[in-house]
Structure 1
Amino acid sequence: MNTLLIMKSKYEKDILPFIEDFGAFINFILEKDPDLSNKTQVLGKNLCFELNSHLHFQRTAIKASYTQEQYIAIDLFFKLAVKSRLFLIQINNKNKFKLIKTVCLEEFLNLNIYEKYVFLLEVFWTTYDFEEELRHNVFEFIELLNVISKTNSYSKIFKNDVGYGGFFSYYSKITRILRILGICELEFIDSVKSKYDDSIKSIMPTDFGREISKTLITALDYINIEDYIISILKERLNLKNSEEDKAFIEIISMVFEPKLISKTINCNVEINKKGTYILKVLLGKNLWRVLKLSHNTTFHELHLLIQQAFDFDNDHMYAFYTGTSRRTGKELYSANPFGESDEYEELTIEEADIYKGQQFIYLFDFGDMWEFKIQVMDFIENEESTPQIIESKGESPQQYPDWD
């Protein structure tokens, strides 16, 4: 028997609920094999409602009326599972999106609870979209961790004790995530009318939370934010550069007792992305084209092929966005009609990590705003193909209608 599994940390009580809940999430996915929503590729309301009942960190819900994003714990677990590549989002032969387990999952399940915690904390720290979630309040978030690190365990931190009060109301999602991670306990306010009202009365650091917050601040070089923001933060907090030869696990392991953490896993799952992609490009229900292209086709070449397919003149700026809407998705690639791009010289389909079943947006002409929806219909491994139009339906629209 592995004696390391018998050893316990004084911090076990603080991190165990998070590890148990993440385990419940994994078991739910493996047992239910749920379909994900077609539009957003997340768990549906009924599934979230059912899963929520199995968790320690539950959202109060009497019926299935909330989306995955509104269940903070479930949304966190889902993103950690996908970002860590314990699961991949793929589409099956019935055109249903699924969470498919990878070889990394078995390795993860063989870690002890402390190794699991450090692995998941690293995924959170290095992949969570802090800038998107916190807008302009990344500095204030690090300052909140700083306050937690200097406050006595289970002493109450009130709104006036921190430089920014949004973490008690509008940006309380990140505060609740800190609770899920075992960093703090929260005292809640009942009968909150809107997200602008305070929903949290006080923050109470755990024993573990004080120590891990102090350590995370020293690991700013690993956080998923822009380098210039990290530099400003380190200057404000008078921090030295992190030891670049140290892995994240080495830094965080120092919080725990010796010999509790000896390993982690490398989840760089190798996926063959070389081959032929079949894309369906839609302007309407009865107006679409099917394109065939290779993995080394650039997005500028894809742009040219769409222009040809719909008889457009290639005379305006364009951009590609992830997701099903340019308003909620992120810009994937943008350039002028002649292929010049500020961010990417020649981004290829392979480099963009396009997978079967994925949907994204092509926007052409930022004035007239022609918005095309694109879905990856199929992927044929290790097959080469020149960019071509293989199927079409509906007459191409007039790019410049005669308004007279």
Structure 2
Amino acid sequence: MIYKIRIILDAKEDIFRDIEIKAESTLEDFHNAITQAFGFLGEEMASFYTCDENWNQDEEIALFDMSEGASSVRLMNETFLEDILTRQTPKLIYVYDFLSMWTFYVELADIVENTEGHDYPNILFSFGELPESPPEKNFEADPNFDFDETFDRYDDLDFEENWN
């Protein structure tokens, strides 16, 4: 089977690539296809993250194990695309270069039969140019969040006030 996948840069302007790749490819193969499609050298650390329907990040699948033995990390070269990306779970988050934080939304668009004579992975469509530097992230707190209201509920917390 062939997956048709859209990879969208997390930016205000539309910048995306549509790629088709074999479902039995590893996430490392997919990572290489993404870096080539967007013109990266592929020399930086990267990770995929499973996520829910609202793009809330979940489990990391890393290019290399950097955990220093603290816990086991799923690795891209041991994880197959068809085991992670399905019709029931069609979304992933991809982060390339943890210093620059190039962040992409990955979404399964279609699953089709293999076409004889085609090489995979294959770029189906390319839209927009990658900027010189990654788009800035907005990490500001929600201006509507009321911190005073949170402290008013202090008595509802489940611990003893004078614990030390």
Q: Which category of TM-score, normalised to the shorter sequence, fits these structures?
A: 0.5 to 0.7
What SS is found at the alignment partner of 2:61?
strand
Task: Work out the number of aligned pairs and report it.
Answer: 120
Other-structure match for 1:290:
18
Higher RCO (Cα < 8 Å, 6 or more apart): 2
Distance 1:370 1:290 in 2: 17
Q: Compare the two structures and name the one with the higher strand fraction.
A: 2
Other-structure match for 2:104:
372
- With the length of structure 1 as denominator, give the TM-score of the two structures: 0.27
Distance 1:390 1:356 in 2: 23
2:4 aligns with one of 278, 283, 295: 278
- Following superposition, the deviation at residue 342 of structure 1 comes to 4.8
1:313 aligns with one of 41, 51, 57: 41
* Residues 306-348 of structure 1, C-alpha deviations (whole Å, 9 max, x = no match): 11111112121111112254xx321241114xxxx95334211
Structure 1: state its 5+ residue gaps: 1-274
RMSD value over aligned CA atoms? 2.5
Amino acid at match of 2:74: E
Amino acid at match of 2:109: M
Distance 2:27 2:125 in 1: 20
- Following superposition, the deviation at residue 355 of structure 1 comes to 2.1
Distance 1:392 1:356 in 2: 26
* Residues 51-104 of structure 1, C-alpha deviations (whole Å, 9 max, x = no match): xxxxxxxxxxxxxxxxxxxxxxxxxxxxxxxxxxxxxxxxxxxxxxxxxxxxxx
Amino acid at match of 2:102: W
Q: Does 1:330 align with 2:58?
A: yes
Check the 8 A contact 2:47/2:96 in 1, yes or no: yes
- Following superposition, the deviation at residue 356 of structure 1 comes to 6.8
* Residues 165-195 of structure 1, C-alpha deviations (whole Å, 9 max, x = no match): xxxxxxxxxxxxxxxxxxxxxxxxxxxxxxx
Other-structure match for 2:114:
383
Matches within 5 A, 1:114-133: none
Amino acid at match of 1:322: T
* Residues 270-295 of structure 1, C-alpha deviations (whole Å, 9 max, x = no match): xxxxx111111111341111000011
Matches within 5 A, 1:168-317: 275-283=1-9, 284=11, 285-317=13-45
Check the 8 A contact 2:60/2:74 in 1, yes or no: no
Distance 2:82 2:91 in 1: 15
Distance 1:358 1:281 in 2: 12
Distance 1:383 1:347 in 2: 21
Higher-Rg structure is 1
- Following superposition, the deviation at residue 298 of structure 1 comes to 1.0
Amino acid at match of 2:97: D
* Residues 354-392 of structure 1, C-alpha deviations (whole Å, 9 max, x = no match): 227712100111111111011111111x42661111101
Amino acid at match of 1:281: I
Amino acid at match of 1:301: D
* Residues 219-267 of structure 1, C-alpha deviations (whole Å, 9 max, x = no match): xxxxxxxxxxxxxxxxxxxxxxxxxxxxxxxxxxxxxxxxxxxxxxxxx
Distance 2:129 2:4 in 1: 21
CA shift in 2, pair 1:321/1:343, >3 Å = closer
Matches within 5 A, 1:151-162: none
CA shift in 2, pair 1:289/1:356, >3 Å = farther
Check the 8 A contact 1:356/1:376 in 2, yes or no: no
What SS is found at the alignment partner of 2:28?
helix
CA shift in 2, pair 1:353/1:290, >3 Å = closer
Other-structure match for 1:91:
none
* Residues 129-162 of structure 1, C-alpha deviations (whole Å, 9 max, x = no match): xxxxxxxxxxxxxxxxxxxxxxxxxxxxxxxxxx
Distance 2:42 2:29 in 1: 12
Distance 1:353 1:393 in 2: 23
Distance 2:89 2:59 in 1: 19
CA shift in 2, pair 1:279/1:342, >3 Å = same
What SS is found at the alignment partner of 1:351?
helix
CA shift in 2, pair 1:359/1:342, >3 Å = closer
CA shift in 2, pair 1:357/1:321, >3 Å = closer
Q: Compare the two structures and name the one with the higher helix fraction.
A: 1
CA shift in 2, pair 1:282/1:376, >3 Å = same
- Following superposition, the deviation at residue 399 of structure 1 comes to 4.8
